[in-house]
DNA sequence: GTCTATAAACCGATAGAC
DNA sequence: GTCTATCGGTTTATAGAC
């Protein structure tokens, strides 16, 4: 993955050279946005590079100049969105309760990003197949997320805020599960469920104290 | 959908005529089984009629003699599996607790049918797109299931076995959600979760009395 | 950096022989 | 009921001009 930054353009006497690199970064960004939409709507396997290129307003070959292959493009999209989401939540807190509340807040904010929700729903299901290019990514992603949420539940327990008989590991798996499942129902019919409200209700059932709104 | 039964073959003096119809039904069955596997592994859009035909050991045209189109084949697969599952659970009970326990039992039995689990996971995510041939089927399926499970929770409440502050509608949506989400985690990594155990744990959290093992 | 042209493969569905 | 042959469409990716 050839990441190109503007800092490479330090050849004096040719200040105009900064132009193309800036454009390239902008084009890459527009490609990622278009790829997100297409992969969300049609999945990775059926979504075509051709359609992505059309949305960006360039040819297929032109697009593949920025990303070496279709699967590399998918990887870039996933990495891009995950990094963005991590930024939202990872401002560190020792407070487990706040961490859980932030996840619910993320679910609430996702109501305005149906395309992103769709992307993860469709691609994660596809990536269930061991030969899928994003299979390893999602296996790792889920293990990582489960561990992080379990850690939050442990902090909640250490603070004496967890109900008796709740295992942090299992609570983490169940929270992720109900989140994913609610998103599926919501994508099928927007009026059928309120993802954030149900997720909050689920988490609350494990706690001794009210979940902050954060 | 031309369903053909052996009862149509009652032309006396030609008992041999029974043969072809029996074979046709058998072939249809083998096609459905192969289609299930292919659609589960690759999804509807990427899974090809050609590969299904190859698994059955016949040509593409030969297969399409039994099902008029690819989407009709998917519809037949889904209808076939749903009818099979309904048979397992729908032996009527007025007892809501038993009904819920049977759903957990279904989840337990699904551990031996990863292909079926995969099919529903992949196709339901795909069918999120409004133009997917199975979109209406899944929207309807989820509404129906949610209503049926909500009804079970209501019966549990009427029997005084439901915890305070539990809304049957919301409990139904959450139960389906956690079920679907656990299946996704399980498909990504079989050792990561025990679907039936976590589902039972989740449901138990809504009840005053222990969920029977049924 | 973007294009046209093209390779090489695969797709669903149909026509018509047997 | 099953086949071969084929049509018209799609796909990812590459070659090479500009």
> Nearest Cα to A71, choosing from A139, A134, A124?
A134
List domains and CATH numbers for chain B: 1-70 (1.10.10.60), 91-214 (1.10.357.10)
Q: Residue B146 and residue A179: Cβ atoms within 8 Å? A: no
Cβ neighbours of B193 in A, within 8 Å: 173, 177
Distance CA A20, CA A61 (A): 18
The runs of H, that is alpha helices, within A90-130 are 96-109, 114-126
Contact B143 A182 (CB under 8 A): no
Query: What torsion, rounded to 10 degrees, do the Cα atoms B82, B136, B114, B55 define?
Result: 90
Taking the C-alpha atoms of residue B203 and residue B199, their distance in angstroms, rounded to an integer, is 6
Most B-contacting residue of A178, A182, A186, A207 (CB-CB within 10 A), to test interface: A178
User: Could you give the 3-state DSSP secondary structure of residue A90?
Assistant: coil
Q: Do A142 and B185 touch (CB under 8 A)?
A: yes
Q: What is the DSSP letter of A110?
A: G
- Closest chain B residue to A178 measured between Cα atoms? B178
Write down the pLDDT at residue B213.
92
**Burial of B83: CB neighbours in 10 Å, binned 0-12, 13-18, 19+:** exposed
DSSP annotation of B162: B
pLDDT of residue B3: 40
**Which element (helix H / strand E) includes A38?**
helix A18-46
A43–B126: do the CB atoms touch at under 8 Å? yes
For chain B, which ranges sit under pLDDT 70?
1-20
Return the structure tokens found at A74.
């998918």
Query: A-chain residues within 8 Å CB-CB of B143?
Result: 189, 192
Distance CA A37, CA A52 (A): 8
According to the model, what pLDDT value does residue B10 have?
A: 38
Which residues sit close to strand D, CB under 7 Å?
A 47-51, 60-61, 64, 68-71; B 4, 20-21, 23-24, 27, 57-62, 65-66
Q: In the prediction, which pLDDT does A18 show?
A: 53
For residue B180, give how far its alpha carbon lies from the nearest alpha carbon of chain A (Å).
Answer: 5
Residue at the smallest CA–C1' distance to nucleotide D10: A48
Helix (H) or strand (E) holding B114: helix B114-126
- B184 to A178: CB separation less than 8 angstroms, yes or no: no
Which nucleotides of chain D does any protein CB come within 7 A of?
Answer: 1-5, 10-16
**For every one of its 214 residues, what pLDDT tens digit does chain A have, with 9 covering 90 and above?**
333 333 333 344 444 455 556 778 999 999 999 999 999 999 999 999 999 999 999 999 999 999 999 999 999 999 999 998 888 877 778 899 999 999 999 999 999 999 999 999 999 999 999 999 999 999 999 999 999 999 999 999 999 999 999 999 999 999 999 999 999 999 999 999 999 999 999 999 999 999 999 7
Residues of B in contact with A129 (CB under 8 A): 41-42
Residue among B64, B15, B186 at smallest CA distance from B117: B186
Chain A contact present for B41, CB below 8 A:
yes
What is the rounded radius of gyration, in angstroms, for the C-alpha atoms of chain B? Answer: 20
Q: What is the pLDDT of residue B8?
A: 39
Position A210 scores a pLDDT of 98
């Amino acid at each position: 993955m050839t990441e190109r930054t503007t800092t490479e353009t330090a050849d004096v006497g040719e200040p105009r050279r900064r132009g193309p690199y800036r454009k390239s970064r902008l084009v890459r960004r527009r490609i990622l946005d278009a790829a997100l939409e297409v992969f969300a709507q049609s999945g990775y396997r059926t979504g075509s590079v051709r359609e992505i290129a059309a949305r960006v307003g360039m040819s297929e070959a032109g697009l593949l100049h920025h990303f070496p292959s279709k699967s590399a493009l998918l990887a870039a999209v996933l990495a891009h969105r995950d990094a963005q989401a991590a930024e939202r939540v990872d401002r560190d807190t020792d407070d487990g309760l706040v961490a859980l509340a932030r996840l619910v807040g993320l679910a609430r904010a996702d109501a305005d990003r149906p395309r992103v929700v769709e992307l993860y729903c469709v691609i994660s299901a596809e990536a269930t197949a061991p030969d899928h290019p994003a299979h390893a990514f999602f296996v790792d992603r889920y293990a990582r997320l489960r561990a992080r949420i379990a850690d939050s539940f442990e902090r909640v327990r250490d603070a004496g805020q967890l109900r008796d008989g709740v295992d942090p590991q299992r609570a983490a798996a169940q929270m992720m599960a109900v989140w994913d499942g609610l998103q599926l129902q919501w994508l099928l019919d927007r009026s059928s469920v309120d993802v954030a409200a149900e997720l909050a209700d689920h988490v609350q059932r494990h706690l001794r104290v009210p979940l902050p709104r954060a």
